[in-house]
Structures are given as C-alpha cells and as structure tokens.
Amino acid sequence: MTADMTATGMGATGTPILPETWLSRFREDGFTVARGLFGGDEIDRLCDRFAALHAAGPVPGHFEPRPSDSDPLHAYPRVMQPHEFDELSLRVLLDSRLRGVLEALLGEEVLAAQSMFYFKPPGARGQALHQDNFYLRVEPGTCVAAWIACDVIDRDNGGLEVVPGTHEMDLFCPELADAEVSFAREFVPPPPGLVAVPVDMEPGDVLFFNGSLVHGSQPNRTVDRFRRSFIGHYVGRSTERIGAYYRTVSMSGDRVPLGESEGAGPCGSEFAPYGPH
C-alpha cells in the first residue's frame, strides 16, 4: 500500500479501494470513482439475473414492462427496490466493499435506503440533471449514491454527467425537463459558472456521489448498446428522517425504521407511470 492510499478494504483486483486523493475529491467535488471494485464475473452474474428477471415478466410494484413500438423504455423500465424480492440484489446492495467506502465517505455507520437497476436500452431517453436528495429528503444531512457500471459507459450510450461543486449547495427548485430527452420531469440547470462533465466507466467501476450533487444523463444514442447499472442509495446512521418510500436497513440486513420526512418520493418522477422509463 502506497503512502497516498487509504485502508478502506480491497477491490476485485486486490488493490486498495480508494486512494486518499480520491476521498479528497469526494469532499471537494462531491463525487469519486472506485475503479474495478467489482469483478467481471460478478457483473456478469448481476446482468444475467436481471436478464432472467426481464424474461420472467412483471413484478408488481417493482418492475412492470409492457411492449411498445415507440419507446424502448416501455419494454425495459428500471427495476425499483429489487433487493426487496431478489437475494442477489440484496447481497450487492449490502456488499462489504461498498460498506467500506461508504463508511469512509460518511464517517459513520451506514444504512441502505434504496436499490435500482437500469437497463437503458438503445434509443432510451436519459434523466435530466437533478439532485437525489430532492426525492429522498434525508434529514439531517444527505444521502450518498453508489452507482455500479454494468457495461462500458460513455457519452454515446448515455453515461452519467455530474456538476462538480453543487454538493455544497442547497436543494434547487427544479424546472420542467424536456420530455423528448428525459424520462423524469425534474430538471436542475447548472448554476452560473458550473458545467456538467461526463464520467466514463468500465464494468465493475462504482461512482460514489453526494445526494446534493447535480447529475443526470443524456439519451442512449447507440443502436446496439445497453447502459446497464445497479444503484444503491445510503444514509448515515445519524439520519433521523427520510421519505416513507425508503425502507432503510442496516448493512447486515436488519430493518432500521426512521422518522418520515415530507415532500419525498421515488427517485425520479416520471412523465407517466412506467411509460417513459
């Protein structure tokens, strides 16, 4: 271990998870990336599991695809809270490597609040710039996302874009997004002087970012590439309130009820229920 490494555990390649400089970047910019945190075989198993889930059909309240000739997200909607019915998803959400990084970032014990899986097929719309804590309404403090890349992710297939520095700002009042390019209604323009920058990723990389960081994605403009990702949202143990939709559990899987905050909802308000995912 070199002098600039932090002992937050090991990634799939046996290397330390996060250099100290990357932890500093999280504090300064609101995000950081753990490269190769999950191995290729682990990502393959996760993708195979969701391919099987898609083939099996709807899971009411979590995943409700429907055929469509006009919008690929009708056939491939995101899967909401898969850890509540799928054991592999629960294991990924509560993975000890994620826990090690999250505890270093938050400085305390961590609770898991949400899981999601995005297929984002070719031609799918993106999600306009937004802030996650606009939906979770964590009090006090904010959430942290762990965004696991399951494909090669870049600008062509709608990779994430982040606006560094916005994690230190309050929640913005969103504008109405362009429904032609975003499945979600909310849009937060970058504040004056700040711009969105892309985060290219490889399968197994994990992007960690602050719940107040403005981020989003463009449409998948490819004709043959999915942009699959598994996302978890986490909060510190000192959290007192969160939206009722988010049923927090400890990293050992025990339910930890919190008080209910106001104004919360599922992460990303769709223009129509399950239509434009």
Task: Collapse the DSSP code of 230 into the 3-class scheme (helix H, G, I; strand E, B; otherwise coil) and give the result.
Answer: strand
pLDDT of residue 43: 98
Three-class SS of 185-224:
CEECCCCCCCCCEECCECCCCEEEEECCCCEEECCCCCCC
pLDDT of residue 126: 98
CA dihedral defined by 148, 227, 173, 193, rounded to 10 degrees? 90
> Average pLDDT, whole number, for the chain?
91
Residues 6+ apart with CB under 8 A from 190: 129, 163, 166, 196, 214
The burial of 193, by beta-carbon neighbours within 10 Å (0-12 exposed, 13-18 middle, 19 or more buried), is given as: exposed
pLDDT confidence band for 269 (50 / 70 / 90): confident
pLDDT of 179 > 70? The answer is yes
Nearest to 161 by CA among 139, 135, 182, 138: 182
pLDDT confidence band for 17 (50 / 70 / 90): low
- The pLDDT of 79-94, averaged and rounded, is 98
pLDDT of residue 6: 34
pLDDT of residue 12: 54
Fold of 27-260: Jelly Rolls (2.60.120)
pLDDT of 8 > 90? The answer is no
> Sign of the CA dihedral 177, 183, 186, 187?
negative
pLDDT tens digits, one per residue of 22-59: 889 999 999 999 999 999 999 999 999 999 999 999 99
pLDDT of 14 > 90? The answer is no
pLDDT of 198 > 60? The answer is yes
pLDDT tens digits, one per residue of 117-153: 999 999 999 999 999 999 999 999 999 999 999 999 9
pLDDT tens digits, one per residue of 231-245: 999 999 999 999 999
pLDDT of residue 22: 82
- pTM for this one? 0.91
The bridge status of strand 229-236 relative to strand 160-162 is: unpaired
pLDDT of 216 > 80? The answer is yes
In DSSP notation, 7-50 reads -S-B-TTSSBS-BHHHHHHHHHHSEEEETT-S-HHHHHHHHHHH
